[in-house]
Amino acid sequence: MIRDEKMMDQLLATIRDFVDNELKPFEHEVDETDAIPDHIVQKMRDMGLFGLTIPEQYGGLGITMEEEVLVAFELGQTSAAFRSLIGTNNGIGSSGILIDGTEEQKQKYLPRYANGEIIGSFCLTEPDSGSDAASLKTSAVKEGDYYILNGTKRFITNAPRAQTFTVMARTNPDIKGSGGISAFLVEAGTSGLSLGKIDKKMGQKGSYTCDVIFEDCRIHQDQLIGGVEGVGFKTAMKVLDKGRLHIAAYSAGMAERMLNDALNYAIERKQFGQPIANFQLIQGMLADSKAEIYAAKCMVIDAARRRDLGENISTEASCAKMFATEMCGRVADRCLQIHGGAGYISEYAIERFYRDVRLFRLYEGTTQIQQIIIARDMIRTATDGVLK
């Protein structure tokens, strides 16, 4: 749903201008130094980019899902680290509170996510629990008005910068699966909370992940999201439904950028006495990529509109995430191929993007997890829930 076409056009134009003039010139530097310059972080705060999805009543712009995917198409035109910086506040780092938090929790944290004063993160994955998220081991044991957390969370995006951690932990050890899990909001600086060293990643330089470690970390019961035990896994799944759609949109934007770069290269690069864009084998790669990006964008917009209408879009979010991220990988490969040997050299952005986009098929649920979700939803619907 687009609330106001004119205002939306203005927002998209502002972001496009920012991306073109202030982010793209720093892409190479961010990759080389593994850091986003402070003035860019501040500009993002000033522009309200940390609070795009936070409702207006809590100080954000309150954009709808359809508006969010249009913004993600624009942010996809530049390096993934920039999106990642604002990504958790607009998504998995704030959504737990936004979707299932109490009014007090919303008032306490959402305005500070919105203005970029604090960064949120989302702690689901553990060393022994990735795709099988319901098997997580981090424990939260009630002692009076407090919970004592123990366990390790892994690959946590933005953890090194975060002031809050949405943590899924097991409050009922007798329930081994999802029903024993609760979600908490833990603040940085809490005694017993520490961070591992920053992970050395294949790509997405300038975006940080690390372990988050809880050792007898004592948090007040007020930090239990929604004040209800045992529903933390469902909170996490709802957060991921939205996050997956966002990643799908961003992947479509990123694929578009790579294709534009490859198209320009094909027009400029001459071999056999003419631009390589004239060769039909190059044209085949350009055309396949164009059509697949178009298909991904259509899927993403349709799923976003349905979510705005209040529909359950678990299946559609997984379809979009699976298709768009796999498509993005294929486009990255073709675009590097169009660049030839030059594509393997870091002077060209495609070398970076090729590494950056590999993550899309892994995080917020691998392609194989999306396949499982889609097929299980189909079987459940076809059998009225008799088969799960």
Choose between 33 and 383: whose C-beta lies nearer to ligand COS.
383
Shortest CB 371 distance to ligand COS, Å: 10
β-strands 274-275, 270-271 pairing: antiparallel
User: 28 vs 376, which CB is nearer to ligand COS?
Assistant: 376
Measuring CA to CA, which residue among 235, 133, 223, 232 is closest to residue 182?
Answer: 232
Residue 179 and residue 184: Cα distance in Å, rounded? 15
CB of 347 to ligand COS, least distance (A): 32
Asked if 299 interacts with ligand COS (CB under 6 A), we say no
For residues 234 and 99, is the Cβ–Cβ distance under 8 A? no
- Quickly count: other Cβ atoms within 10 Å of residue 229's Cβ: 18
Cα separation of 371 and 376, whole Å? 8
Per rule CB under 6 A, count of chain residues that contact ligand COS? 23
Q: 102 vs 367, which CB is nearer to ligand COS?
A: 367
Which one of residues 108, 218, 234, 269 is an interface residue with ligand COS (CB under 6 A)? 234
**Helix or strand holding residue 286 (H, E):** helix 280-308
Positions in 78-97 near ligand COS (CB under 6 A): 92
For the chain, the straight-line distance linking the first and the last C-alpha, in angstroms and rounded, comes to: 32
| Residues in region 111-150 near ligand COS by CB under 6 A | 122, 124-125, 131-134
What is the rounded distance in angstroms from the CA atom of residue 75 to the CA atom of residue 251?
A: 10
Strand residues in the chain grouped as ranges (E) = 120-123, 139-143, 146-157, 164-170, 181-187, 193-195, 209-220, 270-271, 274-275
Does 42 interact with ligand COS (rule: CB under 6 A)? Answer: no
Of the residues 113, 233, 250, 353, which one makes contact with ligand COS according to CB under 6 A: 233
C-beta separation of 75 from 53 below 8 A: no
List binders of ligand COS among 307-326 (CB under 6 A).
314
Stretch that binds ligand COS, among 109-117, 231-239, 250-258, 348-356 (CB under 6 A): 231-239
Q: Between 132 and 222, whose beta carbon lies closer to ligand COS?
A: 132
User: Measured over all CA atoms, what is the biggest interatomic distance in the chain, rounded to whole angstroms?
Assistant: 79
Of 27, 68, 229, 364, the active-site residue reads 364
Q: Clarify whether 364 is annotated catalytic.
A: yes
Span 335-374, contacts to ligand COS by CB under 6 A: 363-365, 369, 372-373
- Cα 316 to Cα 33, 87, 197, 342, 377: the distances in Å are 38, 21, 36, 38, 10
**For residues 179 and 196, which CB has a smaller minimum distance to ligand COS in the complex?**
179
Min. distance of Cβ 333 from ligand COS in angstroms? 24
Give the Cα-Cα-Cα angle 115, 118, 122 (nearest 5 degrees).
115
Q: Is 99 in the site for ligand COS (CB under 6 A)?
A: no
Read off the DSSP letter of residue 93. Answer: T
Instruction: Please report whether residue 237 would count as binding ligand COS according to CB under 6 A.
Output: yes
Q: Three-state SS string across 321-378, please?
A: HHHHHHHHHHHHHHHHHHHHHHHHCCCCHHHHHHHHHHHHHCCCCCHHHHHHHHHHHH
**Which of these ranges, 26-34, 143-151, 237-245, 340-348, lies near ligand COS under the rule CB under 6 A?**
237-245
Minimal distance in Å, beta carbon 41 to ligand COS? 22
Please state the closest distance from residue 21 (CB atom) to ligand COS, in A. Answer: 31
Which residues are near ligand COS by CB under 6 A? 92, 122, 124-125, 131-134, 178-179, 233-234, 237-238, 240-241, 314, 363-365, 369, 372-373
What are the residue numbers of the active site? 364
